[in-house]
Structure 1
């Protein structure tokens, strides 16, 4: 008797009818109830009904091998992807299936968690039905039916954790499902993997894990047939290198889908509000919408962007102008930002942003110098951070020294914060002085935003993206606070320029395209002797 017939018996049997049953009839009814319970307990995948956006993500697998479901908490992103993973592992595709199909077995699959503890509690639980492999009776309560898990051979465990198991495919060829934590990156080598499911991003090595996985997927389904990868995450670590890869989507082959808690029809408005009310304010957008925010809160807080962003900043010929530059290292971009200050109103503007990130040469001083000298800003003084080789009388290899030698108007001193701001902030970290500390500049920039004295051109896309994700972080090892470093390139470049304008360094707007690069244009905007 199939499930539908059993369920019909259950729904057709009223309490009154049950009370009138003979003992034999009641025993038979109880036996059928137990069969229904056992079926439902060990065949979750066969009764799984996806939410519309879960199905959209599944359908996208037909044309996209690499997919990322970036969504808020309680959206069912992990459960939906575990259901898909179970379809591929077993071959039990439902009639409504319109995504990728892996028609044969005999492959290796990976399930990857942040660490082994998380792996056991999430992916092992969702796929196999248990977070304790010692309790064998619970294996099969997840998305992979118990009848398709070989409990006699191929099940390798380490206490409560499953290391690997054998999954029976409808083709008759068994698949191997292996569980990895991201802290065991070295173990993920030397295999061909037909499919990978990674749940959440590790805080430090997600891009390394990702690239290792791409290598394992090559020709995993045979010559010319690569494997697939599914990533599900709420971006708790901020704007990571992995998110950058999907942002750029070079080649257009990657797929990313966003969903929020509001998309989930099984969550009421009251449930959402109760859940979010229990969270710190800075964490709510990340948890509910999947917006990348890390650490202990946004550096610039909740700023009204309608008052911050402008299509075209208003510039007067007597405005002060300065260029800030943040040098890219390794895969980071080099960013040039042009800022202005209206001396009459003390209003600051970030008017232009140029990002160099194609390759190592594109980020180099030689290429940047060529661009600056050909631009409308060739006469504007340039300043960079002291960690950028900014001591001009130092090494001849310093990037700013190279710019100067190539004819750019480089300010002949290291970056320093304005003296009048030195006593306004206590540094978050113990390292560094207030002379060039990040904290001082950030505090001044935040004040500009709060007082409506800063405008940003809407064309400065990287700056705006970084502003929305730039966060404080807490180092549990050292016990100190700091910043979410690595994703503040345009922010840093603008900080150098804005703080320098506060110090009275720069030139007038009408001098910006001057060719007299051999003489620095400088003035004292604050009418104060430094």
Structure 2
């Protein structure tokens, strides 16, 4: 209503208009759930609930991960699903466990977003659980303003139960009768996480986790990002949200926020990438080494590197070397587990039959088939170098190779094409524990290192017509 229209009203009509506006504001304030409009990444997280039992929403700080968790929790408690909802729907009332690291943090985070300001009971109902749906609450002793449980009216006519918990008291405090939904806000200890799963086994209920991965490659993070051969991995999903996905920040605000964090925390706090702190082997930003693909100049030399594997993947990396500027470019990568040399060689030969390949010392080891791996790959027509990868002095130190790579990154002499996602995945997780390099999820990195060690044998690209084959061997 504009001012001119308001001036034309009588006093009683003005009073009625003001009361109407106040009522609309009250309804808006006490039904926050109806106003929830998720960003695309938040929507992806919700949607995954229709397919996966366990979900992790791994995001940077202040990007909306806890808010998303609260909105979804309120939907399940009340049964009030919006028209756009394409996530999981419970058909009736639920029993839910929700909590964080301590009861104070649970109160100030989970409880505040679900119920309202903890220290102002008159404002309870201004969180994501609508005021009309809150039937009863019980307080937790010893923590001011903290609630122990909330009874919530469900649209079916039944009553949902919300129980607030904390990690600080250990797994035993998460024991309860069977529940339908567990929400961990902030990363839980592994034993607490498994207790949450146990509480949902009988119901086939859902587990959701929302946090910024500041603890690095913990067991809970590893469960989602590096499950290995765990058959249960098919029922897990991770959604990762970066500061670029948070539409409430302008580009200028994003730049200031990123710059405000220490370098080793930036990717965790702004991209939701597990922080590896001082243990990270390559403490440089992804942006500083990533480049858009371009056609390799004809006079540049190139070489490939291989890392053999079975349980862990076999990997390949192609390097191009601008000798004038002494800059190495990783141009292509390959990674596949549990396949034979025939399969790997077929994929890598597509990069060019002329391309020389560096390979590790274990390529000379005997295999059950009677021939070592290097011999098997040569038999498939892959142009392996005559000897295993070493530096010019004959050494093959992993530390020396890693330090050469890092020195090049710092000085702008190591670049990676943006079309190599597997390389960047390993780059971000490559770290030390107790001072030693963790030899996991490093296959493409290792292949790159072998190629770097043998760069003296890199060749200029040759025409396919210059190569001939006899019985799968290059002659």
TM-score bin, normalised by smaller chain: 0.5 to 0.7
| Alignment match of 2:185 (pick from 192, 199, 202) | 199
User: Which aligned pairs between 1:7-406 and structure 2 lie closer than 5 A?
Assistant: 46-47=31-32, 50=35, 52-53=37-38, 57=42, 61=46, 65=50, 66=52, 69-91=57-79, 93=80, 98=85, 101-105=89-93, 107-111=94-98, 113=100, 122-124=109-111, 126-127=113-114, 143-144=128-129, 148=134, 150-151=136-137, 165=149, 167-170=151-154, 171-177=156-162, 179=165, 181=167, 194-201=180-187, 220=203, 227-228=205-206, 230-236=208-214, 237=216, 242-243=224-225, 256=239, 258=241, 260=243, 263=246, 265=248, 276=258, 278-290=260-272, 293-296=275-278, 299=282, 301-302=284-285, 308-316=291-299, 319=301, 321-325=303-307, 327=309, 329=311, 332-341=312-321, 346-357=326-337, 361-362=338-339, 364=340, 367-368=343-344, 376-377=352-353, 380-384=356-360, 390=362, 392=364, 396=367, 401-404=372-375
Deviation of 1:82 after TM superposition, in Å, equals: 0.8
Deviation of 1:196 after TM superposition, in Å, equals: 3.7
* CA–CA separation in structure 1 for the residues paired with 2:325 and 2:45: 52
* CA–CA separation in structure 2 for the residues paired with 1:348 and 1:95: 52
Unaligned 5+ residue runs, structure 2? 1-14, 228-232
Deviation of 1:173 after TM superposition, in Å, equals: 3.2
**CA RMSD, aligned part only?**
5.9
Secondary structure of the residue aligned to 2:210 is strand
Deviation of 1:53 after TM superposition, in Å, equals: 3.1
Does the C-alpha gap of structure 1 residues 436 and 123 become closer, same or farther in structure 2, counting only changes over 3 Å? farther
* CA–CA separation in structure 2 for the residues paired with 1:120 and 1:400: 64
- Give TM-score scaled by structure 1 length: 0.59
Does the C-alpha gap of structure 1 residues 506 and 54 become closer, same or farther in structure 2, counting only changes over 3 Å? closer
Match of 1:492 in 2: 446
Match of 1:460 in 2: 420
Does the C-alpha gap of structure 1 residues 306 and 53 become closer, same or farther in structure 2, counting only changes over 3 Å? same
Deviation of 1:78 after TM superposition, in Å, equals: 0.6
Provide Cα deviations, 1:224-258, integer angstroms capped at 9, x if missing partner: xx75554433344379562478xxxx999968473
Unaligned 5+ residue runs, structure 1? 13-38, 221-225, 421-433, 522-530
Deviation of 1:336 after TM superposition, in Å, equals: 1.6
Quick check: 1:448 aligned with 2:448? Answer: no
Secondary structure of the residue aligned to 1:348 is strand
Does the C-alpha gap of structure 1 residues 314 and 126 become closer, same or farther in structure 2, counting only changes over 3 Å? same
* CA–CA separation in structure 1 for the residues paired with 2:111 and 2:270: 24
* CA–CA separation in structure 2 for the residues paired with 1:176 and 1:204: 25
- Contact persistence 1:470–1:484 (CA under 8 A): no
Provide Cα deviations, 1:448-478, integer angstroms capped at 9, x if missing partner: 34555445455433124444x24656x5xx5
Provide Cα deviations, 1:268-295, integer angstroms capped at 9, x if missing partner: 8998777555421443354235455542
Does the C-alpha gap of structure 1 residues 453 and 406 become closer, same or farther in structure 2, counting only changes over 3 Å? closer
Deviation of 1:355 after TM superposition, in Å, equals: 1.7
